[in-house]
Structure 1
């Protein structure tokens, strides 16, 4: 399947390039993986990062998301070694931070798996803070503005590893199938009466 990676806003890319080119331009130190790379590193695969505002939407409403940033995979030595996040500020897009960890390899793996799925999709990242969960969101409208819109029932979500207990990582789920499972996870169990 062809993935239609949306272009990142030019100021977001420039902010990451500036952070990579001038370590003194950012407040935090580079990650250990970035410090250990021999040779050059470059930003790749920009993905819009959306947050699911509520797993359990209000009655009659579809799930709502909001764009919180753009994530760039940082390539060095022919693989992703870290990622860089940007955020929207009152002055426009700005570099936020570098990071590394399991979501780097998991994102790459999910994107490779997505290439094998029939159909065309626009890849995005969808964070579900209520469950400490990150998914690759494969949006069916490849021409959509990457900064807006919510998950359509036929879109696919691929939970990234580590996924919450009981939810299989790297297994694509239709939004219509996965959201009810997530809803059960965050809905408090009814209190039972105390035994007599």
Structure 2
């Protein structure tokens, strides 16, 4: 069943298009693939990027906040892999271009989106970052028509850890939020110090 990709805010898309159209911005980017591509570069697959601020144990709902929109940058060659990604951020003046980047999360995001397309349930794709674990997941929200600017993960939503995932968490394996968050909570809970031996 196809994913219901939410539309990016128009100012976010315009800021990425302006950066792609600026030879200075592309040359200044530390993304060799953007510098070598010929032809038109296109921002595709807009995904809202959320940060997990607080994992609430004992049945509470996790707290997230929308921090940006990420676009996969495609070259002119049809069916080619994304060359890089562009990120926008929300400022007091609205959405603005932040930076271009490349690396393993670009290919991993594409792979996770392809896997999600084969699921039988409709989802709205998002990205969820867990900074304390250096972890990024594809968040498949169960309400495909939800407002992408405000939402918390529901227990039945799916999280697909992107590669590279933290040790002990399998990349590209979908987990229900209700199943994965307790694992993350355990990893983020400090271990109490034991007293010194007698």
Q: TM-score range by the shorter chain?
A: over 0.9
For residues 4 and 154 of structure 1, the distance between their equivalents in structure 2, rounded to whole angstroms, comes to: 17
User: What is the aligned counterpart of 2:181 among 179, 182, 186?
Assistant: 179
Counterpart check, 1:2 vs 2:6: no
Instruction: Report 1:40-189 matches (<5 A).
Output: 40-55=40-55, 57=56, 61-76=60-75, 77=77, 78-189=80-191
State the match for 2:22 in structure 1: 22
For residues 27 and 129 of structure 1, the distance between their equivalents in structure 2, rounded to whole angstroms, comes to: 29
For residues 19 and 53 of structure 1, the distance between their equivalents in structure 2, rounded to whole angstroms, comes to: 29
How many equivalent pairs are there?
A: 195
For residues 26 and 90 of structure 1, the distance between their equivalents in structure 2, rounded to whole angstroms, comes to: 25
Large movers: runs of 4+ above 4 Å:
none
Query: Partner of 1:120: helix, strand, or coil?
Result: coil
| 1:77-132 per-position Cα deviation (integer Å, ceiling 9, x unaligned) | 32200000001111111000000000000000000110112200000000001111
Unaligned 5+ runs, structure 2: none
TM score, norm. by length of structure 1: 0.95
CA change 1:87–1:47 in 2 (3 A) is same
Name which of structure 1's ranges 170-179 and 32-41 shifts more when overlaid on structure 2. Answer: 32-41
For residues 168 and 116 of structure 2, the distance between their equivalents in structure 1, rounded to whole angstroms, comes to: 22
Unaligned 5+ runs, structure 1: none
Name which of structure 1's ranges 170-179 and 88-97 shifts more when overlaid on structure 2. Answer: 88-97
| 1:130-189 per-position Cα deviation (integer Å, ceiling 9, x unaligned) | 111000000001111001110000000000000000000000000000000001111111
For residues 188 and 63 of structure 2, the distance between their equivalents in structure 1, rounded to whole angstroms, comes to: 16
